[in-house]
Amino acid sequence: MNVEIINKYGIESFVFTVHVDRGIVKMSCNASDESIIVLIDRFRFEDLWYKIGKGKHYQCYIPNSDEELADLSRGTKEIWMGCGKYPDAEKGFAEPFDNPVSVAQFTYTNMLRGCAGWVDANGFGISDITRTIWLLANGAKEFPVIVNDLQSAIAIHDLIGVKTSKVYTGIDLYERARECITK
């Protein structure tokens, strides 16, 4: 994982390079010792999301359509790109590298609402679904997300993280950024 630190208007940010079909995009989060990042494996994510994601929480509005809301967790590239807010993500990821898109925030939960009601299972919630589906639709194989606490980050990493990576704390990210400068 490539990490840089930029200082914009007096605020430091961690900046991550994400590989997509058309090259690279940049994503960021505020730089602090409390930052916790997990590198998500797209295929593990899609597999689990498909199993647990069905429901109104992951439906999107399709502009100018009378169709039912699309279920994003069972989506295709066409469904994701047809989501009403997708153009906003497209604009954000088209910005110059000095204006990176914020990483999505994931949360861990062991209680999920499924077709049969609430079930006790491992899962996750996504606060920033539009930028996540943009990454999926554009072929990202792995991408960073921010998680609020270390215990949740470990659980998310175990479920859908890149197996050869780890949970990165702010201290790890500062060190990684220094290593990337020397490469």
DSSP notation for 47-111: HHHHHH--SGGGEE--TT--SPPEEGGG--HHHHHTSTTHHHHHHHHTS-TTSPEEPEEEEEEEE
Residue 107 amino acid letter: T
Q: What's the first-to-final CA gap in the chain, in angstroms?
A: 12
Q: Which of 122-140 are b and which e, b meaning 16 or more Cβ less than 10 Å from the residue's Cβ?
A: ebbebebbbbbbbbbbbeb
Segment 60-97, tens digit of pLDDT = 545 555 555 556 777 788 888 888 788 999 999 999 88
When pLDDT is cut at 50, 70 and 90, the band that residue 110 belongs to is low
Rg (CA), the chain: 17
Q: Which helix (H) or strand (E) holds 155?
A: helix 150-160
When pLDDT is cut at 50, 70 and 90, the band that residue 21 belongs to is very high
Q: Give this prediction's pTM.
A: 0.84
